[in-house]
Amino acid sequence: MTAPLTRGTSNRPPIRWGLILAVWSVYGVVNSVQQYVVSYLASGEFPKYPWWQPFVLQMPQAYIWALATPGILWLGRRFPFERNNWLRNGLIHAVICLTFVFLLDFGFTWHAANVMPLPPNAPPLITRGLRMFAVWVLSDSTLYWIVLAVGYAAEHYRRYRERELTASQLETQLVQAELEALKMQLQPHFLFNALHTIGSLVRTGDAKAAVQVTAGLGELLRRMLDSAARQMVPLQQEIDFIRSYLEIEQIRFRDRLRIDINVDKGALDAMVPYLILQPLVENAIRHGIAPHLFAGLVSVDAKRSNGRLQLSIKDDGPGVGEADTARPGVGMSNTRARLTRLYGQDFALDIQNLSEGGLEARLDLPFRSADFGHDRE
């Protein structure tokens, strides 16, 4: 059964008078040409009446249908075919349809008598009108139900598009909420590590370094607050954040931590997820620097290749065992979850031991420009 049409819907699209007039104009022209051609085929020669006469007969009827179309559409909303009242409303439409067609055919009969002369023995108007109604009631009634059906189809299509748009908006809001939740999990995790560094420095009596780390942490917090509402930032901004983060880590590890950052200029305007590098760099420090007394190197590389952004974070430590890579920490788990939400399957994140020693995290993303917001070559 057809679903009911909502009454009084405020967001219903306006009546498209231009489209209605165009459709019924075509209908009137086709009927006019058909009447002229049928007269020719019946007599074997062109009719005696002028070519424009069928148009004078048919076009007014077509435009009456055009004026009636919004009313029929309104009746469709006023008396919808619902599960509980489809029979009652169907009878109402049938009565309205037959009444309208009866008046339309009588009007056409009267109009035709003024356009084309009647024969001397022509029956009265009431008789001619009833005959016209009997001949055309089926085809004219079909037009009423066609208009009604088109109105229902258009309304259902509009509702379908609205539901589709609503579902899309809800999905977008859900993804955004999940991304925000993942980001909010990442930020306290990062802050806890920074505060742990400050605590370690205070316990060892290195007040100067603790003050430097606190100042650096304040700068990082400012950067984080500036980008708190954004999911994507230019790579240049992410690299600046990593530099500030590594400055804090260098205070913590002193000469044990060396840093090497190499970023192609053509990659700096790429849009990347906010705080995407920090957990990867933190992972490199945790496995390559923190457990050992000897000095280590953490390198960050970025380049653009074939429409892709390729990021690499490496350390020269001893690497990790399979058990460690199989059980990633909070930062790495959130990183992979965020990338899946943002890129679907169009990304790669691999963490593996290097043959020469050390650990490498490789990240491959579609290149999206900060200037244009899409891939470009």
Give all domains of the chain, ordered by start, each with its CATH number.
17-167 (no CATH), 230-366 (3.30.565.10)
Q: What average pLDDT does range 218-238 have in this prediction?
A: 78
The predicted structure's pLDDT at residue 308: 94
What DSSP element (H or E) covers 264? none
What pLDDT digit, counting tens, does each position of 316-356 carry? 888 776 545 544 555 677 788 888 888 889 999 998 888 88
Determine the pLDDT at residue 151: 87
| pLDDT 10s digits, 283-308 | 888 888 888 878 889 999 999 999 99
Which amino acid is residue 22, in one-letter code?
A: A
What mean pLDDT, rounded, does the chain reach?
A: 80
Choose between 62 and 198: higher pLDDT.
62
Number of other residues whose CB lies within 10 A of the CB of residue 233: 21
- Determine which of 43-57, 95-109, 240-254, 275-289 has the lowest per-residue pLDDT on average: 43-57
Task: Measure the CA–CA gap between 317 and 342, rounded to whole angstroms.
Answer: 31
Order of strands across the sheet with 257-263? 257-263, 296-305, 308-315, 359-366, 348-353
Distances (CA, A) of 55 to 103, 116, 128, 151: 20, 12, 21, 28
Contact 367, 307 (CB under 8 A): yes
* DSSP letter (8 states) at residue 7: T
What values do phi and psi take at 4, rounded to 5?
-70, 150
Lowest pLDDT segment from 6-10, 64-68, 166-170, 322-326: 6-10
Q: CA 159 to CA 152: how far, in whole Å? A: 10
Q: Which spans in 230-311 are helix H?
A: 235-253, 278-288
Q: What is the dihedral of CA 30, 35, 37, 39, to 10 degrees?
A: 180
